Every structure is written in structure tokens, then in C-alpha cells.
């Protein structure tokens, strides 16, 4: 799997290092004037537009400088633009000759853009290395990249090698690395300890369902709990998905991957919180023991849940995990889940919706998201739709038969299981990039966790 050892380096800039100039597009002409008439003539000869990257040659054909244009604030990912050149430049040593507006984001974009998932294939050739002389910038960038790459690697790993047990192993490795306590409730123990919905969703698979529980930090610190949907693969259950909809279902544990990436960032930073991570890890499979449409299941919270659709399984496993999280009254409770296609129809793959009644949290998150180039969009917990999640045979219905507001009703369903937490926030992430962008290739993606890292450390500083 990809790491960051070959993408970023510290220390002084070698004389042989190639300079990279990062400028906003409307300032590029002024930079070319400074670089001299040859640079200007070369840009004209290429017919390069204001947003094109320029690789400027010397008299012997060597690269003498690189000019990268980035958009102004209207592009939420603009400050990560360096990633596009990081995966196209030849092997060599590079440095930033002009200080970017956000040095950490520039270095972060470089590392994220150069990411390669190499568990099953080898990539030929070397890779360019960016020298980051500022030790604080380098350290902070690496801390963030470790969390991003952890999430991407977990999502990109196919379900044959990333089942419930492997999700548990990844969480256990992270806990061990940071001295966190770790427990896991597996198989029929879920019934004995009061997690019937997690058990019901995972019982059809030969790979046992489990609830992963990791705790880190001082007991008397503010309590932050992260809950991540860990559906290792989702067939849809007896409400079987069509094959085209099943192709990306290895990413249905994207919520778990993202909370583990966020936990890595927070623990690396020594955040002043008592951090708890809960992951219901299951495979929604088809067998004679699968739960059925029309079944009425009990939940840890005491609500009976009518199964309107077995393909709405994520909110079921989250419900039991959220109930457990809520029992200790956390100061901040965040859940992340690849929960609904409706969220993608509404906002597309790059802009996850989030839901909360805490306006202060929402405002702070928006500021952090902009500063970290890690966007999301607040959607309402629209109370008139509350009745839509009421059941007929059971108290709740996991899949209301309405063709509208699917992401909102899923959030409202989850909200029924959160009563005591001081602030609760639900993120309906996609966890996937359907095409390459400057800051990353097609594949698994970490979403919102850099913004949440900044928010949590700011909120509890």
C-alpha cells in the first residue's frame, strides 16, 4: 500500500533541486516576466493558457523551472493543485521557489496527488521528491497524509482481503501504535451484549460480524466519539443489488476507513480529548440466515425496527453503535457512513452532506473545511419528515417508501438513537473519487477528516 516515504523530504534544498513556482492564474504573466524572455517565449510558443502547467527547459533540454497555476478561492481544491504535477514529473528533487499562501496545503496536495495503491501491482520508475525545509510544515503535512492514506488504503483494498476481521485488524494496529485500549465483540456475543441489529445484518455471512471499540486519551478529557459504518461488502441482502450497483461495494466500509484516518490524525497530534472509536463491521451477505424484508428486529435502544429494505443495512448497524456511544454522554459524537445514493444525487461525489442541530459546530466546520480544502455541505434535519421514519408493524422503518429526501430521512432515522450527546453530527460521505483530480487518483478517498481534525483540536483546545 502507498506510504509517504518517497514523496516528501526535509532538510536544506540541494543545489540540484528544481524550483517550482505556484501562483494564482492571474499572476502568472508577472512571474514569467521575472523568469525572463525565454520563459515568456516558451509559453507563447506552446500556446499555454493561464491555468496550464509550464515545464521550462534549459539550453541542454534540462528542466530549469516549473510554473503551476492555481485558481483563487472559487475552487475549493485549488490549493491542492500541486498534486497534478507530483504524479507527472520525472524522478528528481524539487522545491517550492515561491512561498504558497498555504504551505501545508501545497505539500499536502503534492503527497495526495502522488498517491499510488500498490498492494496488487508494481509501479515502474521512480517518483519525484519535494523538499520541505520547514520542519513544522513537513511534520504537520506528514501527520495529515498518514490519516488520508490510511483511509484510502483501507477503502481501495477489495472485500476478499478487507472483511470484518481485517477491518478489526487495521483498527487494532492503529490502537497498538498509539497505546489505545481495544476490544471487539464478535458473532453471537453481539446478541449476549445487546447489539441485535449489528448481529442481524452480519449473520448471513461466514465472516462473523463484530463491534470494534477503541479508546485513547485521559479519562477526564472532553469526550469525542467517532462511529464509522464498516460494511465490508454490501450485496443488498435479499433485496439484492444489480451487478452494476455492486461493483463499488468494497467501499461501503468507507465510514470506518474515514474515522480510522481521523483517529490517526488526532492521536498523532496528541489532541486534548478522550477519543473513542466505534465500528460495527459486518458483511451484508445472502444465505438462509439472512434477515428479510418485513422482519421486525429489536435494537439496543429498545425500539423495534421494521425492515422495509435489506439494502438499507448501514443505518441498522450504526443505530446500535450510536446507542452505545450515546450512553456515556459524549461532548461530541460524529458518525460517518457511505449511507445513501440520494446524497450523491443531491450533491455529487465531492461534496458530502452533513447534518447537525448545533449551529455553532456547523459554522466552525465550514470555516475549517474552507481552510483545509476539505468541503462538505450542511443539509437540514427537516422535522416535518420525522413521521416518514415511523413504522407500521415496528416502531421505526429502516427504509420509508417515499421517493424523496433519502439522505435526510436516513439522518432522521439515526437521530432517533441519539438522545444524550451534547453535539451529534452525521456525515453521509461517498468515500470514492470516480475520476482523478489534482489531489488524487480515481479510487478510495478520505472526506471531511482533515476539516474535522482541525475543528476538534480547535474546539477542545
3-state secondary structure labels for all residues of the chain: CCCCCCCEECCCCCCCCEEEEEEEHHHHHHHHHHHCHHHHHHHHHHCCCCCCCEEEECCCCCEEEEEEEECCCCCCCHHHCCHHHHCCCCCCEEEECCCCCCHHHHHHHHHHHCCCCCCCCCCCCCCCEEECCCHHHHHHHHHHHHHHHHHHHHHHCCCCCCCHHHHHHHHHHHHHHHCCEEEEEECCHHHHCCCHHHHHHHCCCCCCCEEEEEEECCCCCCEEEEEECEEEEECCCCCCCCHHHHCCHHHHHHHHHHHHHHHHHHHHHCCCCEEEEEEEEEEECCCCCCCCCCCEEECCCCCEEECCCCCCCHHHHHHHHHHHHHHCCCCEEEEEECCCHHHHHHHCCCCCEEECCCHHHHHHHHHHHHHHCCCCEECCCCHHHHHHHECCCCCEECCCCCCCCHHHHHHHHHHCCCCCCCCEEEEECCCEECCCECCECCEECCCCHHHHHHHHHHHCC
> How far is residue 365's CA from residue 355's CA, in Å, rounded to a whole number?
12
Burial code (b: 16+ CB inside 10 Å, e: under 16) for 176-204 equals: eebebebebbbeeebeeebbbbbbbbbbb
Q: Which residues contact 437 (CB under 8 A, 6 or more apart)?
A: 77, 83, 350
Task: Report the distance separating Cα 214 and Cα 179, nearest Å.
Answer: 10
* Residues labelled as active-site residues: 241, 315
Distance of alpha carbon 38 from alpha carbon 356, whole angstroms: 55
Distance of CA 379 to the CA centre of its chain: 18
Contact 90, 128 (CB under 8 A): yes
Sheet strand arrangement including 304-306: 296-298, 304-306, 396-397
Amino acid at each position: 500500500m502507498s506510504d509517504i516515504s518517497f514523496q516528501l523530504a526535509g532538510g536544506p534544498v540541494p543545489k540540484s533541486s528544481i524550483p517550482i513556482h505556484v501562483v494564482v492564474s492571474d499572476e502568472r504573466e508577472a512571474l514569467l516576466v521575472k523568469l525572463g524572455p525565454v520563459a515568456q517565449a516558451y509559453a507563447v510558443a506552446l500556446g499555454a493558457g493561464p491555468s496550464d502547467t509550464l515545464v521550462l527547459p534549459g539550453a541542454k533540454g534540462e528542466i530549469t523551472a516549473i510554473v503551476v497555476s492555481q485558481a483563487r478561492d472559487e475552487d475549493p481544491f485549488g490549493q491542492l493543485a500541486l498534486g497534478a504535477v507530483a504524479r507527472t514529473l520525472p524522478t528528481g528533487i524539487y522545491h517550492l521557489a515561491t512561498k504558497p499562501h498555504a504551505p501545508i496545503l501545497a505539500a499536502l496536495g503534492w503527497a495526495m496527488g502522488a498517491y499510488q495503491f500498490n498492494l496488487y501491482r508494481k509501479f515502474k520508475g521512480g517518483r519525484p521528491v519535494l523538499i520541505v525545509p520547514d520542519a513544522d510544515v513537513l511534520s504537520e503535512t506528514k501527520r495529515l497524509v498518514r490519516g488520508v492514506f490510511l483511509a484510502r488504503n483501507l477503502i481501495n483494498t477489495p472485500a476478499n482481503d478487507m472483511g470484518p476481521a481485517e477491518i478489526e485488524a487495521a483498527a487494532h494496529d492503529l490502537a497498538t501504535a498509539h497505546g489505545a485500549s481495544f476490544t471487539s465483540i464478535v458473532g453471537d456475543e453481539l446478541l449476549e451484549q445487546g447489539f441485535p441489529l449489528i448481529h442481524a445484518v452480519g449473520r448471513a455471512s461466514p465472516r462473523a460480524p463484530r463491534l470494534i471499540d477503541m479508546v485513547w486519551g485521559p479519562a477526564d478529557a472532553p469526550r469525542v466519539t467517532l462511529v464509522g459504518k464498516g460494511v465490508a461488502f454490501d450485496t443488498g441482502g435479499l433485496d439484492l443489488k444489480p451487478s452494476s450497483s455492486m461493483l463499488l461495494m468494497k467501499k461501503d466500509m468507507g465510514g470506518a476507513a474515514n474515522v480510522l484516518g481521523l483517529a490517526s490524525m488526532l492521536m498523532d497530534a496528541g489532541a486534548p480529548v478522550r477519543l473513542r472509536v466505534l465500528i460495527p463491521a459486518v458483511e451484508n451477505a445472502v444465505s438462509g440466515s439472512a434477515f428479510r424484508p418485513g422482519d421486525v428486529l429489536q435494537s439496543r435502544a429498545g425500539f423495534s425496527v421494521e425492515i422495509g429494505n435489506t439494502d438499507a443495512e448501514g443505518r441498522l448497524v450504526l443505530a446500535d453503535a450510536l446507542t452505545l456511544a450515546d450512553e456515556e454522554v459524549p461532548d461530541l459524537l460524529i458518525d460517518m457512513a457511505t449511507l445513501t445514493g440520494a446524497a450523491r444525487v443531491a450533491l455529487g461525489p465531492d461534496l458530502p452532506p452533513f447534518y447537525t442541530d448545533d449551529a455553532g459546530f456547523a459554522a466552525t466546520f465550514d470555516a475549517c473545511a474552507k481552510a483545509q480544502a476539505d468541503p462538505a455541505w450542511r443539509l437540514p434535519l427537516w422535522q416535518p419528515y420525522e413521521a416518514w421514519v415511523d413504522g407500521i408493524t415496528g416502531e421505526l422503518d429502516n427504509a420509508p417508501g417515499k421517493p424523496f429526501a433519502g439522505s435526510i430521512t436516513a439522518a432522521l432515522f439515526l437521530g432517533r438513537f441519539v438522545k444524550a450527546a451534547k453535539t451529534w453530527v452525521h456525515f453521509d460521505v461517498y468515500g470514492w473519487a470516480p475520476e482523478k483530480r489534482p489531489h488524487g487518483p480515481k479510487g478510495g478517498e478520505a472526506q471531511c477528516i482533515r476539516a474535522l481534525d482541525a475543528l476538534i483540536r480547535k474546539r477542545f483546545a
